[in-house]
Amino acid sequence: MMTNNLLHTFGQMNNFQQAVQRGDFLVTAEVAPPKGADASHMLEMAHKLKSRVHAVNITDGSRAVMRMTPLVASVLLMREGIEPVYQLTCRDRNRIGLQADLLGAQALGIKNVLALTGDPIKAGDYPDARAVFDLESVRLLTLINQLNSGLDGNAKLLPDSGTNIFPGAAVDPQSKSWSGLKSRFEKKVAAGAQFFQSQLISDFDLLDKFMTQIAAEYQKPVLAGIFLLKSAKNAEFINRYVPGVNIPQSTIDRLAQSSHPLQTGMEIAAEQVKIAKTMCQGVHMMAVKREDLIPQILDLAGIDAVS
């Protein structure tokens, strides 16, 4: 059984929320759970981020690829003193399962939850699996707000205590529908989102427009998605397969002409962190399979270790 001391330690982990409330420049990074039962590599990558980020996002079947549940992966991080952002999607669970996992997260001391609709099943490694989508992200945020107020999804009193979850949501400032982006963002704020992490940003003019024309009114922190491009081929792959992202040809050419494309990719990411710092309250770092390079990117960008 988990000791009371360990539960007490878990319960005290709310540094990310405190940083949001102080108005700090926020840094989060993304780590995938293992595709198997051995979490040692995930923990190794997370440890390299420990003093450089406020929290580490644990993805929930990103791209609909089967991996360890982020609920367990989040607890494994907390055992190492690393604060997680537990990503929770509506794709694989109905409202009963979602509430069960949220109550379990609360019992384990998990504070931060990113509410997501989830990638389509067809994108993943089990394309014939049955998707659920009983709820989507806005209704999931509403559900979290109800649990936080001590009520279940049927607005019935929870006899064994509610939750104290700090909920966040995703946003895509590069959405093709400006009205849809505005409406969706406003609905997520109204449903209780306290912070936003963006998709990969390739057009910082659109990010600036979003921040000034939509987000500024609501005073919720937005963390710009910064992605480490490892090569020109990597950038071209993203342009081909990631909807809504258009890596500029000048960036692709810069990577292609470099004798050390990975180092160049790190420099590009650092430049983007600097740009994002002038526009929003944080960055969400993504470096698939090279999370160990994120501290170096932050150093190049002049971002200090977190307190």
What is the largest distance, in Å, between two alpha-carbon atoms of the chain?
63
pLDDT of residue 241: 84
Q: Closest Cα to residue 184, out of 206, 229, 216, 215?
A: 215
Q: Is 26 helix (H, G, I), strand (E, B) or coil?
A: strand
pLDDT of residue 1: 42
C-alpha–C-alpha distance, residues 108 and 217, integer Å: 35
- Output 187-193 pairs: Cβ under 8 A, ≥24 positions apart: 187/138, 188/137, 188/138, 188/141, 189/218, 189/220, 191/138, 191/139, 191/141, 191/142, 191/145, 192/141, 192/142, 192/144, 192/145, 192/148, 192/167, 193/115, 193/141, 193/167, 193/168, 193/169, 193/220
User: Tell me: the pLDDT tens digits for 245-276?
Assistant: 899 999 999 999 999 999 999 999 999 999 99
Residue numbers of the chain with a pLDDT score lower than 70: 1-13
Residue 171 sits at φ, ψ, to 5 deg, of -145, 145
CATH 3.20.20.220 is right for the domain spanning 4-299: yes
Q: Tokens 């330690």 label which residue? A: 9
Residue 114 sits at φ, ψ, to 5 deg, of -100, 115
* Contacts with 260 (C-beta within 8 Å, 6 or more apart), sequence order: none
Tokens of 26: 């926020």
Domain layout of the chain by residue ranges: 4-299
